[in-house]
Amino acid sequence: MGWEFAWRSRKELIAHLCDEPTDYKTLARKVTRERGKSVLWAVHEIGPDDKENPGLRFIVCYLMDRKSGLHGYKEMGETMGPFYYSCPLSFLEMVPEPEGENVKEWRENVLKYHAYMAERARRLAEGRRLVRESLAALDEEDVDDPYLTIDLLNNLCTVLIPQGKLAQAKSMLASLWQLRCSRHDVTGTRLLFVRLAIALLELQPVEVFVGQLKNLLALESLPDHAEAWKAWDIACFVESLRPKIPPDAGDFLTALVSAMNDRTKLAGLDRFPEWRNQPPIPLDTPWPNGQAHRGRDGGSS
């Protein structure tokens, strides 16, 4: 089934799909956000209203979008094996597994998706806990050590950004970059990476941040004044950004972290034009501070 656009609001569209039909009733519904799309999941039932003798139940995935001021949808049943997996687990329990070659694989992917999201939530929560504990543990001597403070606060920015607190994180990063005391180290590369992530979220130019990263990573070795973790585990942060940044940007960030952790992988970055075509930029070049563009959903980033 193709796209159909005819509704003035998303509320009207959902009512059309779930409340108005006379040939089936809707037992459950939930709207999720997956891969940059709004997805309405619904459990419909055709047949008698009898708990002891239920009718035919089925799961439907409705992709929702807006075009020329109208809201619309594209319908995909479970048996079609949609490439979206944020269906609530409770819906699987409500609907017996139907026949179809795509169904088993789709349901397995739904289970994997929720396991992945649960693990990501656990790791994000653990990251927030570690940052809170680290900040609480700072004593006067630690505060006098700018490099330890910069590393901790940079990690705090990776917590603020998924919460949408971009202005706060951007301001903090600018201050931390100035506190580096002109002695660049491993933490400097991580500051640049996080600031680059904000630029991607705001659809702003990234040349300065990529160019300065290229400058630092070209050095044979970098000191570690903050005694930071040697391998920077930032995968959950990158995954939290993927639905909100351009399609190839998530792969670029993942490859960039890999190269930051292992310099032997630097050459692999040349497959990304934003790295390959960008010359190194002096580290004293001021960071741009443009206003956020309008987001792809119509709101500001």
pLDDT band at 50 (very low <50, low <70, confident <90, very high): low
Q: What's the rounded Cα separation, in Å, for the pair 191 and 209?
A: 9
Q: Could you tell me which CATH number the domain at 139-276 has?
A: 1.10.3450
b/e burial code for range 109-129 (CB count within 10 A of at least 16 → b): bbeebbeeeeeeeeebeebbe
Which of these, 273, 213, 202, 276, lies nearest to 241 by C-alpha position?
202
pLDDT of residue 154: 86
How are beta strands 56-67 and 25-34 bridged, if at all? unpaired
At CA 180, angle to CA 219 and CA 201, rounded to 5? Answer: 80
Q: What's the rounded Cα separation, in Å, for the pair 71 and 21?
A: 18
Checking if the pLDDT of 180 tops 70, the result is no
pLDDT digits (tens, 9 = 90+) for 2-33: 899 999 999 999 999 999 888 899 999 999 99
Backbone angles phi, psi at 262, to 5 degrees: -145, 100
String of DSSP letters for 33-74: EETTEEEEEEEEEES---TTS--EEEEEEEEEEEETTEEEEE
pLDDT of residue 142: 46
**Three-class DSSP category at 27:** strand
pLDDT digits (tens, 9 = 90+) for 119-171: 877 876 766 676 566 556 554 444 445 555 877 788 888 888 988 889 989 98
**Three-class DSSP category at 256:** helix
pLDDT of residue 182: 58
Q: HEC profile for 67-84?
A: ECCEEEEEEEEHHHCCCC
Instruction: Give domain limits for the chain.
Output: 4-110, 139-276
**Three-class DSSP category at 179:** coil
Q: What's the rounded Cα separation, in Å, for the pair 235 and 284?
A: 29
